[in-house]
Amino acid sequence: MTRRSLTKWMHWLCLGLIAYFYLAEPDENKADPGLGLSTHAGVGLILAVIVALWLGLYVAKGLIGRPGPKLPKWAKGFHHLNHKTLQYGTAVVVASGALAGLAAPFAIRAFGSVPINPGFGFKWLHELAEELHEIVFDGLIIVILAHAAFHIWRHYWLKDNALRIMVPRVLHKYL
């Protein structure tokens, strides 16, 4: 597997996992709130592993793609800033979620089996960490939407095939 194909896999896995977090709040499962939190923690653990690997690749080797030659100067700056914000912003969201989990005054087990914390936290600290986690997650969603809009604009307005770079080859015929 090449670095580019690994990045594509991580890109789409992260998008799917973040979409899960956006669509399924742990508090919304009224029948079994513990199951919602357990699943949230488990999916967060999977996201943490992917984000750590991707951030490590980014820090070691830099951004895999370069701004295209058709981009105006402002867009080249936005390209760099947006990708850097995504790389570090996703890690901040994961870290804030981990902090919220570690600060919980109750035990959390990812997928019901992997222990996340001992359950000795403080309620006030847990609530503060949850609020922080929700704020940075909402900020990440805004950055993701800006990222998607930017690449859609590039692909269709500048016609530089920006979307073909990051989608799997089987989807190229639709672009």
User: Which CATH class name applies to 3-174?
Assistant: mainly alpha
For the chain, counts of helices (H) and of strands (E): 5, 2
**Can you give the residue ranges of every domain in the chain?**
3-174
Under DSSP, the state recorded for 157 is I
Q: What local confidence, expressed as pLDDT, does residue 162 receive? A: 81
Report the predicted TM-score, pTM, of the whole model to 2 decimal places: 0.89
Give the residue ranges of the chain where pLDDT is below 70.
29
Helix, strand, coil abundance in the chain, percent, nearest 5: 75, 0, 25
Q: What local confidence, expressed as pLDDT, does residue 149 receive? A: 95
Q: In Å, how far are 82, 101, 162 from 149, measured between CA atoms?
A: 11, 32, 11
